[in-house]
């Protein structure tokens, strides 16, 4: 059994660790509230824009935007993976990257090549270790991501799609459900899908794609090309930005929960070590008293 000095040092070490995890928990809680406010502020706009884009994708028009065109054969896909830059946020990144790995294996089994755009240091490191081809990346994008930094790397995949070098663009990120729950989300960005899953988990359906449903159509001013070109640019920007904002809210929530669990576990260890320390100290005192009594009796 360890001596009282070793136990005392161990208690001090765990107490110092608990101070760190407690501070990180409080910082994450503060950042989480701000991140959730930004996330919720953007959701109504994103939801409405996705609905309009879904309707426009099925509308009848002489102009057909390239981003609305589906390829008959899928030979190469582009994938945007949004993760965190830092760790200590539980299984948030692990759960998402497991989904990415499984999907990567499915594509590989079909002979489909994959180009990756990594947003976040954890995803970039994982894809590099996995042997994936990273064509662009963004790291250290902060707690308030700038749209310009996010769209630049994603545009490389969009340009590749327009040039015919890739046939689809997918996005993997975390969807914020509540403080205790964050779900990995896989969405297709390009070509414009028939259905979307909104951040709230609701599906936005293109009515024109449903049998017997009303076919949506619009009167375009000044013309269909101008409107669709601008609309689809906003659609991609909103999709990527909202996914990044959601991921930041997930990160801070997961980190707060993880650090709270670490602080509670550290407190439990301190109490157990304190009990062992008291028993050892009591045993040492009892032994000294017994030796004194025995010596006095011998004299």
pLDDT score for 58: 64
Cα separations in angstroms, 150 against 84, 88, 186, 240, 242: 13, 23, 18, 7, 11
pLDDT score for 299: 65
pLDDT score for 72: 83
pLDDT score for 47: 83
**Considering only CA atoms, which of 78, 49, 222, 87 is closest in space to residue 157?**
78
pLDDT score for 270: 93
Residue pLDDT, tens place only, 188-244? 888 876 555 544 445 544 444 443 344 556 677 777 777 777 888 888 888 888 889
pLDDT score for 142: 82
Angle at 18 between CA 16 and CA 21, to 5 degrees: 115
Residue 209 falls inside a structural domain: yes
pLDDT score for 17: 93
Cis peptide before 222 (omega within 30 of 0): yes
Residue 281 falls inside a structural domain: no
pLDDT score for 57: 64
Cis peptide before 191 (omega within 30 of 0): yes
- The encoded tokens of residue 204 equal 């936005």
Residue 19 falls inside a structural domain: no
Residue 175 falls inside a structural domain: yes
Which residues of the chain are modeled with pLDDT < 70? Answer: 1-2, 57-62, 193-218, 299
pLDDT score for 215: 55
Give 292's contacts (C-beta < 8 A, 6+ positions apart): none
Residue 64 falls inside a structural domain: yes
- How many structural domains does the chain have? 1
CA distance 204 to 202: 7
CATH number at residue 86: 3.40.1380.10
Residue 113 falls inside a structural domain: yes
Q: Which domain covers residue 65, as residue numbers?
A: 28-254
pLDDT score for 70: 82
Residue 55 falls inside a structural domain: yes
Residue 283 falls inside a structural domain: no
Give 153's contacts (C-beta < 8 A, 6+ positions apart): 117, 119, 136, 137, 138
**Does this model's pTM top 0.95?**
no
């Amino acid at each position: 059994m360890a001596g009282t000095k070793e136990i005392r040092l161990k208690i001090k070490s765990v107490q110092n660790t608990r101070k760190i995890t407690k501070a990180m928990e409080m910082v994450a809680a503060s950042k989480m509230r701000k991140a959730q406010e930004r996330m919720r502020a953007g959701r109504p706009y994103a939801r409405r824009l996705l609905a309009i884009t879904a309707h426009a994708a099925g509308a009848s028009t002489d102009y057909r935007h390239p981003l609305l065109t589906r390829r008959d054969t899928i030979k190469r896909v582009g994938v945007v993976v949004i993760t965190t830059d830092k760790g200590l946020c539980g299984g948030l990144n692990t759960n998402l990257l497991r989904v990415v790995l499984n999907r990567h294996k499915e594509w590989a089994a079909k002979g489909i090549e994959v180009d990756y755009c990594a947003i976040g240091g954890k995803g970039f490191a994982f894809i590099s270790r996995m042997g994936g081809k990273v064509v662009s990346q963004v790291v250290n994008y902060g707690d308030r991501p700038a749209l310009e930094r996010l769209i630049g790397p994603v545009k490389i995949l969009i340009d590749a799609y327009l040039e015919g070098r890739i046939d689809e663009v997918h996005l993997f990120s975390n969807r914020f459900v509540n403080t205790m729950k964050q779900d990995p989300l896989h969405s297709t960005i390009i070509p414009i899908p028939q259905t979307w899953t909104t951040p709230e988990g609701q599906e936005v359906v293109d009515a024109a794609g449903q049998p017997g449903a009303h076919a949506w159509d619009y009167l375009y001013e000044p013309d269909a090309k101008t409107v669709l070109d601008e609309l689809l640019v906003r659609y991609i920007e909103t999709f990527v930005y909202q996914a990044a904002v959601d991921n930041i809210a997930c990160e801070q929530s997961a980190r707060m929960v993880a650090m709270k669990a670490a602080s509670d576990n550290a407190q439990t260890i301190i109490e157990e070590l304190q009990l062992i320390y008291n028993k050892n100290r009591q045993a040492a005192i009892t032994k000294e008293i017994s030796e004194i009594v025995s010596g006095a009796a011998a004299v």
